Amino acid sequence: MIATIWRRAAPHLSRPSHPRAALAILTSHTLTFSTTTQTPSPAAKMDAIGVLMMCPMNTYLEQELDRRFKLFRYWTQPKQAEFLSQQAESIRAVVGNATAGASADLIDALPRLEIVSCFSVGLDKVDLARCGEKGVRVTNTPDVLTDDVADLAIGLMLAVLRRICVCDKYVRSGAWKLGDFKLTTKFSGKRIGIIGLGRIGLAIAQRAEAFDCPISYHSRSKKATNYTYYSSVVELASNSDILVIACALTPETTRIVNREVIDALGPKGVLINIGRGPHVDEAELVAALVEGRLGGAGLDVFEKEPEVPEQLFGLENVVLLPHVGSGTEETRKAMADLVLGNLEAHFSSKPLLTPVV
């Protein structure tokens, strides 16, 4: 017990081996604290740490940030540039997500920025290079949302192929008459092509295997799996009934699904996007769906959320979701706890939980 108290109160001093001596020093009020090696009790200090939250993303997270830190809500500032220049000296952390993160401009405007903690696994809204240059740490929320996103991908596939949303709407309209029916297409056994065989891609593959779906994939490099690898996305699309985007968004993967890929997927093929809107050439996708050149699509993400191309609203072969990939009570809380945990670790000089940079 004395060791624990010593670690907290005087880690910069060597502890005498005799407990009484140690106790004497601890109670003597002669301890001095160096700000470079010692952090006083975390709660007291962190109250004053400015954290900039970029947009509304989770009520629990917002409340906890407010409670534990000095929270600034970026989206409530009427004049954001002015706000930044006024508060620049206080802000030491940014909390971003898939909608808004930390651009180079923002990073440059916050000279005391030490850490960007993302409420997402995707980092496409964070200028990682600039963070690296300036020694700004970056964390995200991997693993905790893998299952939810993979579940949603399969849910989208079933919803599109079996027209579940169309059916629900039909019954609710009161229009169901006996003998009125449409045949859809079987999901089991369909060839699944996965772009990006990371955590989420693998989780999708494992679920699809339970439906006897043959799995192929495209990735930057071949992985040690038995799934069939294709070195080009076009080839993958040509050999798939359902193409699902599960890779990170980078300059290289922007518009990885373009006209050529859509053509290869074809009038019976289905595209599932649980990655990022910019993975797909959205205009080409909409045209292909409207013209019947693509069989269907299940989309959780769009180029300019929350805008969704209205030409899709009347189509029965699409399912449109408002970016809910990680949208469960359980997972959002786990993500929020990771954000908070990473921030507290950083400001307590402890190892980050899920660092990226």
Partner 1 sequence: MGQEINPQTNGFHHHLNGDRPDLLVLRPGLLFKVFEQEFLAKFNVLKAFESPLPLDKYLRDHAQSARAILCEAIVTRITADLLLQLPALQLVVADGTGVNHIDLAECHRRGISVTNTGDVFSEDTADYGVGLLIDVLRRISRADAFVRRGSWPLTPEFPVGRKVGGKRVGIVGLGNIGTKLAKRVEAFGCKVSYNSRTKKQSAPYDFYPTVVDLASQSDILIICCSLTDKTRHIINAEVLNALGKNGILINIGRGPIVDEETLVKYLVDAKIAGAAMDVYENEPRVPSELFGLDNVVLSPHRGAFTEEAFFDAFKIVMGNLDAFFANKSLLTPLTTNE
Backbone phi, psi, residue 14, to 5°: -80, 135
Look-up of token digits 């993500």:
335
Nearest to 114 by CA among 134, 98, 84, 140: 134
Q: Label each residue of 122-143 as H, E or C.
A: CCCCECHHHHHHHCCEEECCCC
**Which residues on neighbouring strands pair with residue 163, listed in sequence order?**
none
CB of 38 to partner 1, least distance (A): 41
Could you give the CA distance from residue 86 to residue 353 in angstroms, rounded to a whole number?
31
Among all residues, which ones are annotated catalytic?
276, 305, 323
Contact between 335 and partner 1 per CB under 8 A? no
Instruction: Give the chain's length.
Output: 357
Contact between 252 and partner 1 per CB under 8 A? no
Identify which of residues 257 and 308 has a Cβ nearer to partner 1 in the complex. Answer: 308
Could you say which residues in the range 50-79 bind partner 1, by CB under 8 A? 56
CB of 26 to partner 1, least distance (A): 45
Contact between 168 and partner 1 per CB under 8 A? yes
Identify which of residues 302 and 347 has a Cβ nearer to partner 1 in the complex. Answer: 302
Identify which of residues 194 and 321 has a Cβ nearer to partner 1 in the complex. Answer: 321
Residue of 78, 135, 251, 306 that binds partner 1 (CB under 8 A): 306
Contact between 278 and partner 1 per CB under 8 A? no
Identify which of residues 305 and 337 has a Cβ nearer to partner 1 in the complex. Answer: 305
Contact between 226 and partner 1 per CB under 8 A? no
Contact between 308 and partner 1 per CB under 8 A? yes
Contact between 147 and partner 1 per CB under 8 A? yes
Could you give the CA distance from residue 205 to residue 270 in angstroms, rounded to a whole number?
16
Contact between 164 and partner 1 per CB under 8 A? yes
CB of 92 to partner 1, least distance (A): 27
Residue of 1, 44, 178, 224 that binds partner 1 (CB under 8 A): 178
CB within 8 Å of 217: residues ≥ 6 apart = 193, 194, 195, 196, 197, 201, 205, 223, 225, 227, 228, 229, 230, 236
For 355, which DSSP code?
B
Nearest to 198 by CA among 139, 268, 131, 275: 275
Residues at the site binding partner 1, with contacts judged by CB under 8 A: 56, 147-148, 151-152, 154-156, 158-159, 162-165, 167-172, 174, 176-188, 206-207, 209-211, 305-308, 313, 319-322, 324, 327-332
